[in-house]
Amino acid sequence: MSPKGSLVAIFHLLFYTLFSFELVQSEGQNSNVQQTNFHRQKRLFSLFNVVQFQNGPCITASDIETTGTCLNGQECTSQGGTLDGNCASGFGVCCVFILTGCNGVVNQNCTMVRNMGFPAADSNTGRTCSVSLNRLSQDICQIRLDFQSRTVLPLGTGEGVCGGTGDSLNVISPHSSSQSAFPPTVCGTLTGQHMYFESGRSGSTAGQINIVQGTGANTDRRYNIKVSYIECDSIVRAPSGCTQYFTDLTGTITSYNFPGGQILVDQLYTNCIRQNEGFCSVQYAESPITTPDPFELTADMKVRTDCGQVNQISIPSSVLVKQGANADEFRFAPSERCGSVFGALPRTEIPSTLTSARGLPFVVNVRTRPASVADNDFSGFSLDYSQIPC
């Protein structure tokens, strides 16, 4: 029976019980009207208490880009949330938890971390804002950060440099004392992107977000970051080592700060795609846009598969491609891709699709060189992906 059907059945049962009780009371006891009324009110209160709903995500009334949690009004108020619209067919309220300012502690799932004065910019410089993430339960394995509307942390002096005169964002957690175990430091225009990191399963703290406000006059700094706690058995838990995780059949993967038109230096991370049932491979192609350039990792105007020590992405187990005049001659294409054109055939100047070989993992690895090693004045990448049926 569906949840809706179960609820209707419960109402019918309670109504019948209430009606039978009132009939007996009417026939057998007419002398104690107050006691009967008391019992009637008690049962009516119990009847309305059976209306329950999941405390899932909801869209706020004031901003369709902001997500809240569906709670009843009393729960929202008692937990320090803000009511912003209705949910659950009007039985619940969309409750938003907001942490505004330079420092603080996150104590609720789906909390929005915002800069001081948001949506206006924060022009303070030369300080670090640290947000501690309290562990809500021992069944938390990951944290997901969603960079929502108007998240801009201005770059510093130099090509794609985070920090220094510019801003930067990094995360740490008790999962490991090694910074290499976490996503890279990011900055720039991050709106619409996200980041996963491991939180471990013990301790009172699940992690920390550090936002360094650079020493330059960055008057357009603002951030709006949704913090989600991912349970260990959640279907949206990412495989270990994945910085971004995509669960749809189709989607778009972009380098951090791609909307800002500047690839970030010294990046090393993995984008992962969840394999859907009945799908065995993934097809990738440049996004159909012209600004910023959807694939520009180096100055070479061709597809390169011998990327060496330059900015590159890699897609393991690339598809077999034609080699030479004989259509029967194939080889495994190297997984790396660089240059300023994306595709399967090497040294071509025409963008094309690339299909991964059948099987897992579905990943796009990213590596960019430090500013001191190479010229990084490039836009980065925006790749559309589509899972292919078996």
Local structure of 162: helix, strand or coil: coil
Q: Which of 80, 146, 135, 132 is nearest to 102 (CA)?
A: 132
CA distances from 134 to 41, 123, 172, 201 (A): 41, 28, 13, 12
- Residue 242: per-residue pLDDT: 94
- Residue 98: per-residue pLDDT: 92
Please check whether residue 196 is in contact with residue 238, taking contact to mean a CB–CB distance below 8 angstroms: yes
- Residue 303: per-residue pLDDT: 84
| Placement of tokens 């175990």 in the chain | 181
- Residue 177: per-residue pLDDT: 65
Q: For residue 300, with 0-12 CB atoms within 10 Å meaning exposed, 13-18 middle and 19 or more buried, which class applies?
A: middle
Residues whose CB is less than 8 angstroms from the CB of residue 329 and which lie 6 or more positions away in sequence, other chains included: 322, 323
CA distances from 191 to 89, 130, 150, 377 (A): 30, 20, 6, 21
Q: Which of 94, 100, 98, 93 is nearest to 108 (CA)?
A: 98
d(CA 187, CA 161): 8
217's tokens: 């006059």
- Could you please report the per-residue DSSP string of 142-155? EEEEEE-TT-EE--
Residues of the chain with pLDDT under 50: 1-34, 36-49, 319-321, 327-332
| Domains recognised in the chain with CATH numbers | 3-49 (no CATH), 101-231 (2.60.120.290), 244-389 (2.60.120.290)
- Residue 377: per-residue pLDDT: 83
- Residue 331: per-residue pLDDT: 47
Please check whether residue 218 is in contact with residue 137, taking contact to mean a CB–CB distance below 8 angstroms: no
- Residue 346: per-residue pLDDT: 79
Local structure of 103: helix, strand or coil: coil
- Residue 179: per-residue pLDDT: 63
- Residue 51: per-residue pLDDT: 61
The distance of Cα 145 from the centroid of its chain, to the nearest Å, equals 5
Provide the b/e sequence for 145-169 (b: ≥16 CB within 10 Å): bbbbebbbbbbbebebbbbebbbbb
Which H or E run contains 35?
helix 33-49
- Residue 38: per-residue pLDDT: 44
Strands 244-246 and 363-367: unpaired
Please check whether residue 361 is in contact with residue 258, taking contact to mean a CB–CB distance below 8 angstroms: no
d(CA 218, CA 211): 14
d(CA 41, CA 197): 51
- Residue 14: per-residue pLDDT: 42
CA distances from 378 to 74, 163, 164, 343, 381 (A): 51, 19, 20, 18, 9
100's tokens: 């505004």
Local structure of 107: helix, strand or coil: coil
Local structure of 165: helix, strand or coil: coil
- Residue 7: per-residue pLDDT: 40
